[in-house]
Amino acid sequence: MAEQALSGLKIIEYGNCISAPYCTKLMADLGAEVIKIEEPGSGDESRWHGPFLNDEPHPEKSGFFLYLNTNKLGITLNVKTKTGQKILKQLLRDTDVLVENNQPKQMADLGLDYSSLKEINPQLIVTSITPYGQTGPYKDYKGYSLNTAGLGGQTMRTGELQREPLAPPLSQSNYQSGAMAATATMGAIFARRSDGEGRHVDISEAEIWATIHLGHGVHLGVFEGRKSIRSGHRTISVYPWCILPCKDGYMCLIAIQGFQWKRFLEAMGTPEWMADPRFRDRIVVALEYADEMDAMVEALIIGETKDELFEICRRDQITFAPVRSIDEVANDPHFKERGYFVEKNRAKTGMLKYPGAPYKLSQTPWKLSRPAPLLGEHNEEIYCGRLGYTREDLVRLRRSGII
């Protein structure tokens, strides 16, 4: 098999749902060997979330699970038993990275906290993804994506002012923390190169929002007493920066530079708007005349389709774009030409399309080598092939609910 960027890197995932699985998916997709540990019987929770093929709920047919676990090997192991812990530790002796997203208290109770694992394998990197981090007063608090987006500040930026603020869709907090965990894990691998020592990587989901996403603006609150203002389909900073309906959906209109707005009005045949003294300063428009302006622009574009408007924008280098729906993106010629969506066959689900590479590496391309594992698919390969258990041991482990 062709060498990939992360070939040779051995990773164990003891995680659930999105954050840890997305982290290890990113690494597996670039060639790392990832062994995913699942609870015997039920498996990863994401197996029980839809979407299911043909809406038929089945733990081997969850698209959510299939997407997040490409290129991994899968074993079952009940880590809550003593034997389970012993087996996990055996595996960790010959592992570069453990990625997990359990509560800190739970890992400590299982004897799997970083200081214990370091004794087994001093070179081991342990990447822990939790809602709030390994330290601080909320470290043992529970948090789903909704909660960490709230504490992290992302929520207060979206929605209409008089209504409840909106957390980002589809558990974005989990994807952000998963991606940051993969990045920081690579950092730990480089750090280990210099001194041979493992590291504990502490990823706090709320903190990803509060730092790299939104921490750059916090001084505005501290020094100027400012608040973020959520203003529905537009911002109050400059006009246009909004989403407005057209004939067959919505257009995203944003012009930070005045000439972009001017070009649009000229293209639409309404350059006289620029002469109206009320509309001369686009910051004033955003603050005082936004409703009026919205109505005028809407009337201008409501008869045109997204594609017609986009064509004009592309011709005149205007920074507006159509709001593509999911099916439109799935069938978009650009994504098609770049081969973004990829097909893969798999037992139980057959041939399916998947979202593909977020980046193209010229020497070591992203690759969908194997689809997500069936529950316990690689038990024999790992337990017998690597750890030296016999088939009879496997039967015994299975009967005692350990695998």
Which one of 213-221, 289-297, 371-379, 388-396 is the stretch in contact with other proteins (CB under 8 A)?
Answer: 213-221
For residue 291, what is the DSSP state? H
Upper half-sphere CA count for residue 26 (Cβ side, 13 Å)? 20
The residues in 108-127 that bind other proteins, with binding defined as CB under 8 A, are 114
Task: Compute the least distance from the CB of residue 138 to other proteins, in Å.
Answer: 5
Which one of 91-99, 190-198, 266-274, 391-399 is the stretch in contact with other proteins (CB under 8 A)?
Answer: 190-198
Task: Compute the least distance from the CB of residue 302 to other proteins, in Å.
Answer: 13
Q: Which is nearer to other proteins, 241 or 383 (CB)?
A: 241
Q: Which is nearer to other proteins, 83 or 228 (CB)?
A: 228
Q: Is 179 in the site for other proteins (CB under 8 A)?
A: yes
Q: Is 392 in the site for other proteins (CB under 8 A)?
A: no
Q: Is 77 in the site for other proteins (CB under 8 A)?
A: no
Residue 251 backbone phi and psi in degrees, to 5:
-115, 145
Place of tokens 């750890």: 387
Considering CB under 8 A, how many residues would be counted as binding other proteins?
A: 157
What amino acid occupies position 190?
F
Q: Which is nearer to other proteins, 111 or 136 (CB)?
A: 136
The residues in 270-289 that bind other proteins, with binding defined as CB under 8 A, are 283
The residues in 133-172 that bind other proteins, with binding defined as CB under 8 A, are 133-138, 141-144, 146-161, 163-170, 172
CA dihedral sign of residues 333, 334, 337, 338: negative
Task: Compute the least distance from the CB of residue 381 to other proteins, in Å.
Answer: 25
The residues in 232-271 that bind other proteins, with binding defined as CB under 8 A, are 232-235, 237-238, 241, 243, 245, 250-252, 254, 256
The residues in 91-110 that bind other proteins, with binding defined as CB under 8 A, are none
Q: Is 203 in the site for other proteins (CB under 8 A)?
A: yes
Instruction: With residue 11 as reference, give the H or E element that holds it.
Output: strand 10-14
Q: CA-CA distances (angstroms) from residue 60 to 57, 328, 363?
A: 9, 27, 34
Q: Which is nearer to other proteins, 58 or 386 (CB)?
A: 58
Which one of 90-98, 187-195, 375-383, 387-395 is the stretch in contact with other proteins (CB under 8 A)?
Answer: 187-195
d(CA 63, CA 79): 26
Q: CB within 8 A of 311, min separation 6: which ones?
A: none
Q: Which is nearer to other proteins, 210 or 394 (CB)?
A: 210
The residues in 313-372 that bind other proteins, with binding defined as CB under 8 A, are 314, 317-330, 333-335, 337-338, 340-341, 352-364
Q: Which is nearer to other proteins, 223 or 275 (CB)?
A: 223
Place of tokens 């005045």: 258
What amino acid occupies position 206?
A
Q: What is the largest CA-CA distance in the chain?
A: 86
Pick from 12, 37, 64, 95 the residue near other proteins by CB under 8 A.
64
DSSP secondary structure string, 59-123? Answer: TT-BHHHHHHTTTEEEEE--TTSHHHHHHHHHHHTT-SEEEE-S-HHHHHHTT-SHHHHHHH-TT
Pick from 181, 375, 397, 402 the residue near other proteins by CB under 8 A.
181
Task: Compute the least distance from the CB of residue 168 to other proteins, in Å.
Answer: 7
d(CA 240, CA 244): 10
Which one of 36-44, 72-80, 211-219, 266-274 is the stretch in contact with other proteins (CB under 8 A)?
Answer: 211-219
Question: At what angle are helices 258-267 and 306-315 packed, to 10 degrees?
Answer: 120
d(CA 68, CA 51): 13
Q: CB within 8 A of 78, min separation 6: which ones?
A: 39, 40, 84, 401, 402, 403
